[in-house]
């Protein structure tokens, strides 16, 4: 075991994963820094095995997932040529590509680490995730330490930790794989359900709704895939149908006009989303083939002021009729800093060609998951994919770098956890 194993390597690994509560308190900022830390600490190993690592990287790029991803990335860069702000769009695309390349390099470095260093990585993630969970439980149910220190709040702040909880939920899936491996004598469905239900119960109190729905759908997927091996293809098919119909769905079928008064009985944030998706659907249809350029969806002016009324249904037992009251009444701009829907964003930015390319990535990933030999790993990765699809569709912007960094961190943890039985 080399000297670095006893000094800087474990220090940086534990610093990376035990700093997750700080990242959560800073509204998710810092996940990119964590990826950079891991790149630095695995850089020496990567350099030592650079020829083999390069060959492995070429093989990853040449496989179906890699080829589809490279094609999509190439179209992203090409679409910057007709973006509203070409210079900014190109720089943003380049920054995101650099993040992805950093993730691939870290992955390559981790694969060539010794068993002892992988063990340190495993312990740092396992302990760091448990510490992360304890931090949230203390913050929510005992004393809001971080809330008090950061925003001087007396009570737990949902809005402060929205990104932190999403980051936690991404890392939940490789942690679930650890639980499945450690409790192999217990039925896997029990091991999946119990922590998933606990997490969903917490999310009911804290939000965000996207994370709650994502964990629910991901859990259903993780439970179903080994009994129904074609389940990932069914999910990919439904996602494809939604993706191809999105502009027409929100302009013709699901919008304020077609829903009528029922529109006001959904949460205000989702009313706002539907209003925005309808307007962006109209923008998409102006140039549906190639879109309006990379990140065009984030450059629209704030748009019209819209009134958002949230009604609360009340059942009157005496008359046996449902009445309602206005629970919230406010106004907001039609457009936000991002569309809260990755498919809408791709349609606006990169058009039908972009949609076809991103769907090719989805189908390649889906096929790769179904070919995984380990049923435990297959379950957790399918759950992870479904969770991300929910976040992708109703949560955040497609190009937010903290989301990309959270995915990279989770996949790195998967890469270490899935092989643990081989080197313990």
Note the pLDDT tens digit of each residue in 108-163.
999 999 999 999 999 999 999 999 999 999 999 999 999 998 888 888 888 899 99
Instruction: Calculate mean pLDDT across residues 253-267.
Output: 91
CA distance 71 to 86: 20
CA distance 105 to 47: 10
Instruction: Calculate mean pLDDT across residues 373-379.
Output: 94
Q: What are phi and psi of 323, to 5 degrees?
A: -115, -175
Indicate whether 365 pLDDT > 70. Answer: yes
Note the pLDDT tens digit of each residue in 157-179.
888 999 999 999 999 999 999 99
Residue 174: per-residue pLDDT: 97
Alpha-carbon distances of 31 from 19, 41, 100, 300, rounded to whole Å: 10, 16, 13, 28
CA distance 325 to 78: 50
Note the pLDDT tens digit of each residue in 239-255.
999 999 999 999 999 99
Give percent above pLDDT 70 in the chain: 96
Instruction: Calculate mean pLDDT across residues 393-414.
Output: 92
Instruction: Calculate mean pLDDT across residues 282-310.
Output: 90
Q: Would you say 106 and 412 are in contact if contact means Cβ atoms under 8 Å apart?
A: yes
Residue 422: per-residue pLDDT: 44
Q: Give exposure, 193-230, as e/b (b: 16+ Cβ within 10 Å).
A: eebbeebeebbeebbbebbbbbbbbbbbbbbbbeeeee
Note the pLDDT tens digit of each residue in 55-72.
988 888 889 999 999 999
**Closest listed residue to residue 272, CA positions, set 339, 348, 204:** 339
Q: Indicate the pLDDT class of residue 412, thresholds 50, 70 and 90.
A: very high
Instruction: Calculate mean pLDDT across residues 255-270.
Output: 90
Indicate whether 424 pLDDT > 80. Answer: no
Indicate whether 423 pLDDT > 50. Answer: no
Note the pLDDT tens digit of each residue in 66-107.
999 999 999 999 999 999 999 999 999 999 999 999 999 999
Q: Would you say 126 and 178 are in contact if contact means Cβ atoms under 8 Å apart?
A: yes
Q: Indicate the pLDDT class of residue 420, thresholds 50, 70 and 90.
A: low
H-run or E-run covering 146: helix 145-151
CA distance 287 to 139: 47
Question: Peptide bond preceding 74: is omega within 30 degrees of 0, i.e. cis?
Answer: no
Residue 77: per-residue pLDDT: 96
Please, what is the average pLDDT of the chain? 91
Residue 331: per-residue pLDDT: 86
Between 230 and 337, the more confident residue is: 230
**Closest listed residue to residue 390, CA positions, set 206, 164, 196, 210:** 210
Helix (H, G, I), strand (E, B) or coil at 157: coil
CA distance 139 to 157: 9
Instruction: Calculate mean pLDDT across residues 215-238.
Output: 96
H-run or E-run covering 330: strand 321-333
Query: Is the C-alpha dihedral spanning 241, 247, 248, 253 positive or negative?
Result: positive
Residue 1: per-residue pLDDT: 44
């Amino acid at each position: 075991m080399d000297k670095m194993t006893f000094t800087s390597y474990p220090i940086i690994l534990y610093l990376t994963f035990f700093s997750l509560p700080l990242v959560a308190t800073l509204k998710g900022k810092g996940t990119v820094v964590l990826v950079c830390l891991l790149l630095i600490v695995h850089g020496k190993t990567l350099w030592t095995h650079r020829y083999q690592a390069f060959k492995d990287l070429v093989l990853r790029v040449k496989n179906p997932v890699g080829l589809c991803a490279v094609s999509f990335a190439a179209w992203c860069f090409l679409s910057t040529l007709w973006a509203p702000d070409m210079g900014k769009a190109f720089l943003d695309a380049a920054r995101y590509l650099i993040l992805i390349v950093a993730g691939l390099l870290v992955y390559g470095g981790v694969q060539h680490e010794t068993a002892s260093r992988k063990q340190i990585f495993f312990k740092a993630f396992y302990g760091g995730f448990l510490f992360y969970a304890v931090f949230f439980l203390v913050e929510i149910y005992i004393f809001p330490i971080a809330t008090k220190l950061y925003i001087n709040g007396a009570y737990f702040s949902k809005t402060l930790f929205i990104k932190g909880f999403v980051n936690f939920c991404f890392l939940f899936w490789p942690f679930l794989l650890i639980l499945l491996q450690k409790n192999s004598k217990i039925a896997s469905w029990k091991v999946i359900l119990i922590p998933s239900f606990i997490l969903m119960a917490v999310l009911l109190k804290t939000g965000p709704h996207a994370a709650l729905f994502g964990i629910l759908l991901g859990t259903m997927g993780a439970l179903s895939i080994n009994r129904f091996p074609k389940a990932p293809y069914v999910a990919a098919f439904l996602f494809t149908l939604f993706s191809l119909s999105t502009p027409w769905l929100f302009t013709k079928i699901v919008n304020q006009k077609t829903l009528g008064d029922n529109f006001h009985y959904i949460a205000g944030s989702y009313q706002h989303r539907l209003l925005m998706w309808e307007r962006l659907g109209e923008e998409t249809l102006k140039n549906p083939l190639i879109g309006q350029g990379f990140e065009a969806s984030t450059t629209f002016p704030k748009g019209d002021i819209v009134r958002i009324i949230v009604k609360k249904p009340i059942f009157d037992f005496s008359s046996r009729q449902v009445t309602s009251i206005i629970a919230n009444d406010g106004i907001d701009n039609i457009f936000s800093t991002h569309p809260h829907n990755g498919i809408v964003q791709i349609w606006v930015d990169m058009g039908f060609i972009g949609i076809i390319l991103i769907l090719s990535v989805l189908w390649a990933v889906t096929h790769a998951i179904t070919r995984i030999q380990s049923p435990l790993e297959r379950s957790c990765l399918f759950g992870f994919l479904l969770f991300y699809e929910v976040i992708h569709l109703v949560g955040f912007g497609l190009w937010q770098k903290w989301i990309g960094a959270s995915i990279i961190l989770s996949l790195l943890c998967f890469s270490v956890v899935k092989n643990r039985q081989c080197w313990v």
